[in-house]
Amino acid sequence: MALSLDEVRKIAKLARLNLTPAEEKRHAETISVVLDYMNILNEVNTDGVEITSQVTGLSDVMRPDEPYECDFKKELINQMPEVSENELKVPAVFE
């Protein structure tokens, strides 16, 4: 499936990308190759193949978010380049 330059320009506009004419041509060719490959994959017979959403068998790997006391807080504070009131002091991000 060959993608036209107009279609690439439309996709680039939606993605808010500024492409040069050379990039538009390259992306048209690259995306066309990917779409052609997807068409080949669509022809594969998948009858009887179960839908797979994940393969690890893990169902819930979350742990409760509970605070706990750090045993080596003093050692960490001693390694910090700048400390204020027993906490790491960092440069301001916003003015």
CB 12 within 8 A of CB 19: yes
Domain assignment present for 37 = yes
Domain assignment present for 33 = yes
pLDDT tens string 23-52: 999 999 999 999 999 999 999 999 998 888
Domain assignment present for 57 = no
Q: Residue written as tokens 């960490």?
A: 76
pTM equals 0.49
Mean per-residue pLDDT over the chain, rounded? 90
Amino acid in the structure at residue 83: V
pLDDT tens string 56-72: 878 777 888 999 888 88
Residue 28: give its domain's CATH number. Answer: 1.10.20
Estimate the crossing angle of helix 5-14 against helix 21-42, to 10 degrees.
100
Domain assignment present for 87 = no
In terms of residue numbers, what domain contains 28? Answer: 5-42
- The structural domain count of the chain equals 1
> What is the structure's pLDDT at 11?
95
